[in-house]
Amino acid sequence: MKPEAVLEKLKPAPVITGHVRLGDLDDQLLTPVGEKPPLAWFIAFAMTSTATLIGMALIGYTIATGIGVWGNNIPVAWAFDIINFVFWVGIGHAGTLISAILLLFRARWRNGVSRFAEAMTIFAVICATLFPLIHVGRPWLAFWLGPYPNQRGIWPNFRSPLLWDVFAVNTYFLVSLLFWYIGLIPDIASMRDRAANKIRKFVYSALSLGWRGASRHWRHYEKAYLIIAGLATGLVLSVHSVVSFDFAVSLVPGWHMTIFPPYFVAGAIFAGFAMVVMAMVVVRRTMRLEHLITDYHLEVMNKVILACSCLMGYAYLLEGFTAWYSMNDYIHHTFLQYIFGTYWWAGWLTITCNILIPQLLWFKWFRTKYFGMIFVSLSVTVGMWFERFVIIVSSLHEDFLPSSWHIYMPTYVDYGILLGSFGLFFTLVLLFARVLPVIATTEMKMVLPGSQPHREGGSHE
């Protein structure tokens, strides 16, 4: 190969295709916010909000009647409630990873997708926090999990992983929100400047916190953004580790595993990226942003999915190895349960969707074609939901004493609330797409051709 060709290969791929001017960028990203949405948006919104309402009605029914309307029982005291919780917390992780860790690693391709991914984080965490709240027997007393000073002098039990969860998820939500909001400030200011409507102008003015784009502002902004990114970086690893402690710290066979923290983090990123890819495909198609969210972006994310899939495969294998090597009857039985037991289909579905199907991403066609990546991402989403099903339900339904083994069957309320959580998530996504810019214009401007000085001689047009 000629040296020039090598150099060409080594050049980072462009994160924007075509020639984009600063003004065009603003026009394209900030205009939809004031306009009447297209019909497709309304159809989508009608569907997602209906799903949300169904979910909310069923949650109301649950709170009014009791957890008994779900399929949970003894021994399977946790089921869809905690599956959904872990699932949604996991979905959020891609956003944080993209915005925080990739920022620190200076991965330029993150700028195009970070805003959307962060928003998805927020919404996913909203969906996630819903479940611990409604899954308790007496939700109106759930505030007892908070460490607030009270007359009775009772503190929560700091040894309980559930309490760690409360802190982890709350911290995660707060930091993600702050990070997202700080990133939004310059964009909100731009929208304020473009707003024609009085109310809109007022709202955006208030939200932009007096941003004028002064260099002092920029300096503070950059610092704050970086600091919070640093904080969030730790959270990417810690939040799902803590969530995994709910299981790993217990003594339930199948839960009591040292591999759980890294395994859960990998799984979270895996599921999160799959969700981001699906959403991004839709956004770039419907909002005509193919030049900003390029094939390259999608391909990079698909590569992350592939890498995570391999990690997951390793984790699954290691679980089997542990079961075998530990010579522990209970763990042995549980692992066999996963693949040959009552819920064998869930076990095989998990393996197929999470390990086998993502291997298709070794082929470039799957990494770059909509059909290929959506197929894989969809299967990962399904697979990761069922992975939690396997971990929670399959492990619980047959534990130590065979006398108390009992099958678990979800009810329509369980399905309805799951549907509702998807409804809520996508409703929020749809609203977000209409009121805030889905791509961070300021960040995009940093990666526009010629925006940064470089050794070929930077140019300002």
Partner 1 sequence: MKEPEDARKIKQVGYEKDMPALTSGHHIEDLPAEILEMYPDGISRRRFLSLLSASAALAMGASCSQIDRGTIVSYTKNPGEIKPGVAACYASTFQEGWTTQGVLVKTREGRPIHIEGNPDHPISKGTVSLRAMGDLLGLYDPDRLRAPKLNSDASTWEAAIAALTQAFEKARTGDKPFLLMTGAMVSPSQRSLIADLKQAVPGLWHVCWEPASPLSQFLDDPSIPKLHSEPAKIILSLQSDFLGSDGNAPSYIQGFASSRRISSPSDRMNRLWVFEGPMTLTGANADVRIRVRPSGIASLAYALIRLLNEVHGIALPYGMDANYLKPYMPAKTAETLGLELVNLELLARDLAEARQSVQVLAGPSLPAEASVASSLLKIMLEADGDQSGSHGSRLFVAEAVSNAELRNLIEEAAGGKFSGAIFWGVNPAYAFPEASLWKEAVGNIPDTFRIGPYEDETATDCDWRLPEHHWLEAWGDFLSTSRFVSLRQPTIGPLHSTRQGEDILLACMRDMDLQVPGSYREYIKTVWKSRIYPGNSPVRFDDYWNAALHNGGAESIREFSSFLQGSWQTAELRGVWSSLGSESKEDVPNAGNEAAADAIDGMELVLAPQAGVYDGRYANNGWLNELPDPVTRATWGNPLSLSIADAERLGVGNGDVVEVTNGETTIEAPVLIQPGQCPGVAALALGYGRRSGSVAAGIGVNAYPLLNNSPGSPLLAPGISMRRKNTRERRPLPLTQTHDRMEGRDLARSWTLNRYALESGKEKVHDPHHHASLIPERKYPEHKWSMAVDLSACVGCSACVIACQSENNIPVVGPEQVLKGRHMHWIRIDRYYEGDPHDPRVLHQPMFCQHCDDAPCEIVCPVNATTHSPDGLNQMAYNRCVGTRYCSNNCPFKVRRFNFFDYTSMKKEPENLVFNPEVTVRPRGVMEKCTLCIQRIQNAKQKAKVEDRSIKDGDIVPACAAACPAGAIVFGDLNDPDSRVAKLSKSNRAYHMLEELGIKPSVTYLADISHPAIIEELR
Please report whether residue 258 would count as binding partner 1 according to CB under 8 A.
no
Choosing from 333, 369, 434, 445, the residue that interacts with partner 1 (CB under 8 A) is 333
CB contact set of 259 (below 8 Å; sequence gap of 6+): 315, 318, 319, 322
Choosing from 110, 135, 297, 388, the residue that interacts with partner 1 (CB under 8 A) is 135
Binding to partner 1 in span 407-426, by CB under 8 A: 407-409
Shortest distance, position 456 Cβ to partner 1, whole Å: 59
In terms of CB distance, is 21 or 406 closer to partner 1?
406
How many Å apart are CA 59 and CA 69, to the nearest integer? Answer: 10
In terms of CB distance, is 118 or 246 closer to partner 1?
246
Please report whether residue 118 would count as binding partner 1 according to CB under 8 A.
no
How many Å apart are CA 130 and CA 425, to the nearest integer? Answer: 11
Give Cα separations from 191 to 45, 122, 337, 363, 436 (angstroms): 23, 21, 55, 41, 9
Per-residue binding string, partner 1, 310-329, x by CB under 8 A, is -------------------x
Choosing from 5, 39, 141, 327, the residue that interacts with partner 1 (CB under 8 A) is 141
Please report whether residue 249 would count as binding partner 1 according to CB under 8 A.
yes
Choosing from 3, 19, 403, 455, the residue that interacts with partner 1 (CB under 8 A) is 403
Shortest distance, position 1 Cβ to partner 1, whole Å: 59
Per-residue binding string, partner 1, 270-309, x by CB under 8 A, is ----------------------------------------
Binding to partner 1 in span 347-366, by CB under 8 A: none
Terminal-to-terminal C-alpha distance of the chain: 35
Shortest distance, position 252 Cβ to partner 1, whole Å: 6
Q: Are the beta carbons of 261 and 168 closer than 8 angstroms?
A: no
b or e along 225-239 (b: 16 or more beta carbons within 10 Å of the residue's beta carbon)? beebbeebbebbbbb
Count CB neighbours of 441 within 10 A: 19
How many Å apart are CA 292 and CA 112, to the nearest integer? Answer: 6
Please report whether residue 341 would count as binding partner 1 according to CB under 8 A.
no
In terms of CB distance, is 30 or 257 closer to partner 1?
257
b or e along 376-403 (b: 16 or more beta carbons within 10 Å of the residue's beta carbon)? bbbbbbbbbbbbbbbbbbbbbbbbeeee
Per-residue binding string, partner 1, 208-247, x by CB under 8 A, is --------------------------------------x-
Choosing from 16, 67, 236, 239, the residue that interacts with partner 1 (CB under 8 A) is 67
Q: Which two tokens stand for residue 303?
A: 């590569």
In terms of CB distance, is 309 or 395 closer to partner 1?
395
Choosing from 54, 57, 142, 281, the residue that interacts with partner 1 (CB under 8 A) is 142
- Please tell me the count of residues contacting partner 1 according to CB under 8 A: 52
Q: Are the beta carbons of 120 and 431 closer than 8 angstroms?
A: no
Q: How many helices (H) and strands (E) does the chain have?
A: 18, 0
Shortest distance, position 172 Cβ to partner 1, whole Å: 17
Shortest distance, position 340 Cβ to partner 1, whole Å: 14
Please report whether residue 75 would count as binding partner 1 according to CB under 8 A.
yes
Choosing from 45, 61, 221, 400, the residue that interacts with partner 1 (CB under 8 A) is 400
Please report whether residue 405 would count as binding partner 1 according to CB under 8 A.
yes
Q: Which listed range, 1-9, 119-127, 274-282, 400-408, lies at the site for partner 1 (CB under 8 A)? A: 400-408
Shortest distance, position 168 Cβ to partner 1, whole Å: 13
How many Å apart are CA 400 and CA 385, to the nearest integer? Answer: 25
How many Å apart are CA 317 and CA 256, to the nearest integer? Answer: 16
How many Å apart are CA 440 and CA 191, to the nearest integer? Answer: 12
Q: Is 294 helix (H, G, I), strand (E, B) or coil?
A: coil
Give Cα separations from 84 to 62, 80, 337, 415, 419 (angstroms): 16, 6, 22, 11, 10
List phi, psi (to 5°) of 206. -60, -45
Please report whether residue 336 would count as binding partner 1 according to CB under 8 A.
no
CB contact set of 120 (below 8 Å; sequence gap of 6+): 91, 92, 94, 95, 272, 275, 276, 279, 425, 429
Shortest distance, position 160 Cβ to partner 1, whole Å: 4
Query: Positive or negative CA dihedral for 299, 304, 305, 309?
Result: positive
> For residues 408, 414, 419 and 424, what is the CA-based torsion angle, rounded to 10 degrees?
-130
In terms of CB distance, is 144 or 202 closer to partner 1?
144
Per-residue binding string, partner 1, 150-179, x by CB under 8 A, is ----xxxx-xxxxx--x-------------
The site for partner 1 (CB under 8 A) is made up of 65-68, 71-78, 135-139, 141-142, 144-145, 154-157, 159-163, 166, 246, 249-252, 329-330, 333, 396, 398-409
